[in-house]
Chain A
Amino acid sequence: MRSTKITATLAALAMVLAACGGGSDDDTNGEAAGGDAAAETDEGEASGEAITLNLWTFGNFGYDDLIEEYEDDNPNITIETLIQEFDGHHDGLVTSLAAGSGGPDIAAAEVAFIGAFTNEADSFLNLLDYGAEEVKDDYLDWKWDQATTLDGSATIGLPTDVGGMAICYRSDLFEEAGLPTDRDEVSALWANSWEDYIAVGQQYKEATGRAFIDNEGLLWDAVVNQSSETYYDSDGELIYADSEQVRYAWDIVVSALEADIDAKTPAWSAEWNAGMNAGDFAVLTCPAWMRGYIEDQAPDTTGNWDVATVPEGGGNWGGSHLVIPAMTEHPQEAYDFMTWLLAPEQQLRVFEGTGNFPSTPELYDTPQMREFSSEFLNDAPLGEIYSDNALDVVAQNIGPNYNLINQEFGEALNRISDGLESPEEAWETALDNIARELSF
């Protein structure tokens, strides 16, 4: 019987597999919270035991230096980071939450997801149990509320950065169109209402024949988030169909489409990037982190941009929280690290490094903030503009299905823009779609 040959081959295969498994064991100092010997320390014992914390973020949170410093100050703690792009990060987080294992100790959650997470607060650590009440005042209250359940019984996340909102405009193109270029004058043009904003756009279009805004979706996002009652009210009831702000935002965007001042370049697309270079549109909704993006995509336009305040004030785009999944094996250490990482001093350092705007208002009066500006944006006082805006934002109950509802409206507006439906039809379709999706 040559069965020995087969067993030999299978054994070899088994050795290969074992080697593969063993390889990843040797590399890192520990393993993910999937349960294994090295990380099996008791939860109560803070120092002395070698612990690894897994931190998952996306994009560029700028924590590398801070992590090194924390590790130096706390030699028993090692912090493993995993950075992915937006989708992969959130999908992976959701998957691990669903499976109840394989997740990190700390994860970033962007505003698009925080509403849903807050709705399932049991999947996360209630930070209030660990003393989060003490740090609550460090943060913008509307930002704090985003990660707090409606009844206030649980807060699952601490704020990282805020998007902030301003309008970046091309001063050279404004000049061409005979519009004022000084930022205060520009801000005054539309300070009171979005309708004035559209009117400026029409003026621009008549003078130059070119589009004014980049796309209808971003305009929608900017307007609809300026109120506290958009898709859900403060009791958690769905109000999207009746909300005044929603209707107002809709009308504004429709009027922009009807005035044909829209360049119709989808956000994040190559055309959008090209549009920044070529001047296909004259304004951009500009959160704090947009500057870096424009600089990267259109470096030759330096000095041609300036920053004005957003019509009607307030509104926010982006920004995140850090949350701790309930499956963590080191809740106390994770909490301690997180509170340190997101404390005002550290947020200032992150700001200086990456430009992500802090969510801690005490920084807004510091000289570094007040004097912060950017040459690329014509030395506009970004620190001032964004802090003023951040303080103006009203608390909004994001709700578990914010993203879904927002996307339906966004797509409806795109359909109008593509000529597939009339505004009335699109409104009805959007409401029907949302009702159907939420009817389960």
Chain B
Amino acid sequence: MTTLEKVSTRGDGSTGRSELILRDRPPLARAVHATRRSGLKYTILVLALAVSVFPFYWMYVVASNSNAVMSQFPPRVVPGPNFLTNARLAVEGVPFGTALLNSFVVASAITVSVLFFSTMAGFAFAKMRFRGRGGLFTFVLGTMLVPQQLGLIPLFILMGYFGWVGDLRAVIVPSLVTAFGVFWMRQVVAGSVPDELLEAARMDGCSIFGIVRHVVWPSVAPGAAVLGLYTFLFAWNDFLWPLVVLGNEPSSHTIQIALRTLSDTYYVNYSMVMAGTLLSVVPLMIVFVLFSRQMVAGAMDGALKG
């Protein structure tokens, strides 16, 4: 006989715990049921995967054919032979390498800084007591409501005042800490830094900075990895503000600006632009792979614990 207690529907797990023993079911019925369900599952997943990846395939089709071919109807759906040609045009048309480097510098600097400052701030909001904590945090959240386009002109005026127009600093400094980062890390710290560890570290005489270094940082690593990836992507893909403030300085162009300048007279050679875009995705892929391992590790962790 199996026994079990009713479980609370609240999510904190604090009210009660269930002990249970799985009831035996006929093995065949279980297997059949499982396969039927899993068929549908895999179909959905494969469909989702295909939809996610298809536009990249399409980009490759455009990038590997010539502009003229793509103008025909019905549209070609198979890749062509011109990828290298278009890619070469793209790379030669703009300072591609410099732009990639600039994008990398900007995105990395922002990511490192956001991770660093957001963790500190998140820790403060999550685990420390101080006056005005609630109000200040709500204020931080409130700043997320302000759209970027609102600040284009005034920000540009500010940058002119600092002498940073055309300088990568103009793009990096305003994004050194983001409200989203603070919010995210606060949640992560609240969920993953055990109070007991904090107390123990205190007892051991650790200063506040030591606590941050030895207790907080290691605990938040997977959550921070997600924030890091998200921030990097966001910084890499940002194009409006960088265009406005860096547009006049070709050596400061990020890759998004460089891709925008790949054009001729009044029109755009889509094949060339797509080839350039695909090339610019490669470093992102690398970053993605690096970070995703961390994420998956964290995910697996959760699955085993669950």
Contacts and interface: CB of A to CB of B under 8 A. Distances in A.
Contacts of A24: 166-168, 249, 251-252
A86 B71 contact: no
Q: What does DSSP make chain A's interface, helix, strand, loop or mixed?
A: helix
Given A32-B249, A85-B260, A6 B113 contact: no
Contacts of A270: 70-71, 270
Q: What does DSSP make chain B's interface, helix, strand, loop or mixed?
A: helix
Contacts of B213: 2, 5
Q: Which of B157, B261, B266 has the most CB of A within 10 A?
A: B266
A85 B160 contact: no
A34 interface: yes
B207 interface: yes
Interface in B55-109: 67-68, 70-73, 105-106, 109
A103 B105 contact: no
A386 to B, nearest CB: 16
B271 to A, nearest CB: 10
Nearest to A287: B266
A274 B70 CA distance: 8
Interface in A232-270: 268, 270
Given A17-B173, A24-B168, A278 B68 contact: no
B265 A34 contact: no
A293 B269 CA distance: 10
A98 B248 contact: no
A31 B68 contact: no
A292 interface: yes
Interface in A18-39: 20-21, 23-24, 27-28, 31-32, 34-36
Given A35-B163, A59-B265, A296-B269, A17 B109 contact: yes
Contacts of A300: 68
A99 B160 contact: yes
A99 B157 contact: yes
Contacts of A318: 266
Nearest to A24: B252
Contact of B248 (A20, A86, A104, A277): A104
Contact of B251 (A2, A27, A84): A27
A73 interface: no
Interface in B254-279: 260-261, 263-270
A20 B105 contact: yes
Contacts of B71: 270, 273-274, 276-277, 297-298
Interface string A289-301: 1001100111110
Contacts of B265: 59-60, 289, 292-293
Interface residues of A, number: 59
Interface string A96-109: 10111111100000
Contacts of B156: 95-96, 98-99, 102
A274 B72 contact: yes
A11 interface: no
Contact of A23 (B112, B113, B168, B261): B168
Given A21-B167, A299-B68, A88 B153 contact: no
Nearest to B247: A92
A268 B248 contact: no
A438 interface: no
A402 interface: no
A73 to B, nearest CB: 23
A380 B270 CA distance: 29
Given A32-B248, A80-B250, A9 B209 contact: no
B248 A82 contact: yes
Contact of A268 (B109, B112, B249, B266): B266
Q: Which of B112, B165, B213 has the most CB of A within 10 A?
A: B165
Given A96-B248, A293-B266, 20 more contacts: A1-B209, A2-B209, A2-B213, A3-B209, A17-B169, A23-B105, A23-B168, A24-B166, A24-B168, A35-B163, A84-B263, A85-B260, A88-B243, A88-B260, A92-B247, A92-B248, A274-B72, A296-B264, A297-B67, A298-B71
24 contacts: A5-B209, A17-B173, A20-B105, A24-B252, A32-B166, A32-B249, A34-B165, A35-B163, A60-B264, A84-B260, A86-B263, A91-B243, A92-B243, A102-B248, A268-B266, A273-B71, A277-B68, A278-B72, A289-B265, A289-B266, A292-B264, A293-B267, A296-B68, A297-B68
Interface of A: 1-3, 5-6, 9, 13, 16-17, 20-21, 23-24, 27-28, 31-32, 34-36, 54, 56, 59-60, 80-86, 88, 91-92, 95-96, 98-104, 268, 270, 273-274, 276-278, 289, 292-293, 296-300, 318
**CB-based closest 7 A-B pairs:** A273-B71, A102-B165, A59-B265, A101-B160, A2-B209, A85-B263, A27-B251
